[in-house]
Amino acid sequence: MEKLRVQGGRPLEGEIAVSGAKNSALPVLAACLLTKGPVKLNRVPRVRDIRTMEKLLTYAGARVDVNGSHVVVEAGAVEKPEAPYDLVKTMRASSLVLGPLVARTGRARVSMPGGCAIGARPINLHVASLEQLGASIRQEHGYVEASAPNGLKGAYVHFDRITVTGTEDLLMAAVLADGETVIHNAAREPEVVDVAALLSKMGARIEGAGTSTIHVQGVSELHGAQHTIIPDRIEAGTFLIAGAMTHGDLVVQGCIPEHVAALTVKLRQAGADVTETENGLRVRCPGRMRAVDITTEEYPGFATDLQAQYMAAMTKADGISFITETIFENRFMHALELARMGANIRLEGRQAIVAGMPELSGAQVIASDLRASASLVLAALVAKGETLIDRVYHLDRGYERIEAKLQRVGAQVERVSSHEYATQAT
């Protein structure tokens, strides 16, 4: 198994490039199942979750050609409208194929995702919304089986709570439904807008993506298209926090400032200087950061996917900060590992109270999920001495060559295999 070894104490300086958004590329790839025509995608990040989604498409019968960050999907025939357990168990976002499969073929059999380190993450809202479009859905033997032999029918759907992939799943089903669908209390995330942009290029008729009410006029067929995935706002935010924490001078190339506005407001309040450049954002933070509270919310609020990384910054800030998680019920696993590095964090239900310490110290830590891993990398960058982060496969699910990108801006970080480490350590 691989680990990351980090020597802390180096400021990050220079330019770091942002890859395509994982959480946009996932539904975009699923959307390719909706048409026979080839869909040509650019800026697809080469991360593990994307490879899993590509495997799902191939399993269903699509042809997937990958050439670096360019991917062409051709789903001429969808022979097996299924997502088997072996693929789904490694990635919860597999439920994104449910909507497209039932819309295209009239049936879908998708394994139910299991538990997850950050919370229960049920898919009841995906299921209920597809039922409103006329799909009959059964859940048995660990699978969701949907069928709509006569096609889906447009309907008015109100989501009880905001769900990102639930909105995307329904949107992808509604584009081929008969008549109008109105999605109320829809997620407003940039990733939803990106999927809608691709679907529109494929011939779908969608209005209101990016607002909480989306109108879709169903069409009988979609065609091939070409699309460039938006830059990853969570990766960009991770680098911005890293630049501020390490007291560096970092230009995060290719990020869209509006997409990370909730974070940059907080970084500025904490004492960082964040300015727009021609093609991204520059962050500097010469002095110690100040403690500033955050509460996670749906977009455009502070992203839950940046909460762990922000907490890492607050462990060294001057003062006490309150970090409140409202989206997932169990997303503080990183706090316990950060504590092993000397952080002072008290957990009270959905709130973490972080008392900033003057120093963190390197330690052996274990990554519990994707964003938790990123927070440990950030803490390691400023800790005294060496940190060894175990289970980096979590990191590889969503960050493209993170150690190579960080090395180029001055971080001392390397990937080692357990075996290699054992040999060196003796």
What amino acid positions are annotated as catalytic residues?
116
The token pair that represents 180 in the structure block: 């109008």
Using CB under 6 A as the binding rule, whether residue 222 contacts ligand EPU is answered as no
Binding mask 226-265 for ligand EPU (x = CB under 6 A): ----------------------------------------
Q: If we measure between CA atoms, which residue out of 35, 79, 86 comes closest to residue 58?
A: 79
Strands 386-390 and 364-366: parallel
- The phi, psi pair for 70, rounded to 5°, reads -100, 130
Using CB under 6 A as the binding rule, whether residue 122 contacts ligand EPU is answered as yes
Using CB under 6 A as the binding rule, whether residue 102 contacts ligand EPU is answered as no
Report, in Å, the least distance between residue 304 CB and ligand EPU: 5
Largest Cα–Cα separation, the chain: 68
Using CB under 6 A as the binding rule, whether residue 14 contacts ligand EPU is answered as no
Q: If we measure between CA atoms, which residue out of 270, 245, 271, 242 comes closest to residue 255?
A: 242
Please state, in angstroms and as integers, the Cα–Cα distance from residue 278 to each residue in 238, 253, 255, 357, 372, following that order.
20, 9, 10, 36, 31
Residue 140's H or E segment, with its range, is strand 136-140
Using CB under 6 A as the binding rule, whether residue 163 contacts ligand EPU is answered as yes
Nearer to ligand EPU, 330 or 412 (CB): 330
Answer yes or no: are the C-beta atoms of 345 and 354 closer than 8 Å.
Answer: yes
**Start-to-end CA span in the chain (Å):** 18
Nearer to ligand EPU, 125 or 360 (CB): 125
Nearer to ligand EPU, 163 or 291 (CB): 163
Place of tokens 């957990």: 347
Measured in whole angstroms, the distance separating CA 192 from the mean position of its chain's CA atoms is 12
Nearer to ligand EPU, 52 or 387 (CB): 52
Nearer to ligand EPU, 98 or 289 (CB): 98
Query: Which residue from 19, 23, 264, 315 is in contact with ligand EPU, where contact means CB under 6 A?
Result: 23
Residues 315-344 that bind ligand EPU (CB under 6 A): 327-328
Query: Which residue from 125, 174, 206, 389 is in contact with ligand EPU, where contact means CB under 6 A?
Result: 125
Using CB under 6 A as the binding rule, whether residue 126 contacts ligand EPU is answered as yes
Answer yes or no: are the C-beta atoms of 378 and 337 closer than 8 Å.
Answer: no
Using CB under 6 A as the binding rule, whether residue 308 contacts ligand EPU is answered as no
Q: Return residues touching ligand EPU (CB under 6 A).
A: 23, 26, 93, 119-126, 161, 163-166, 191, 304-305, 327-328, 370-371, 398
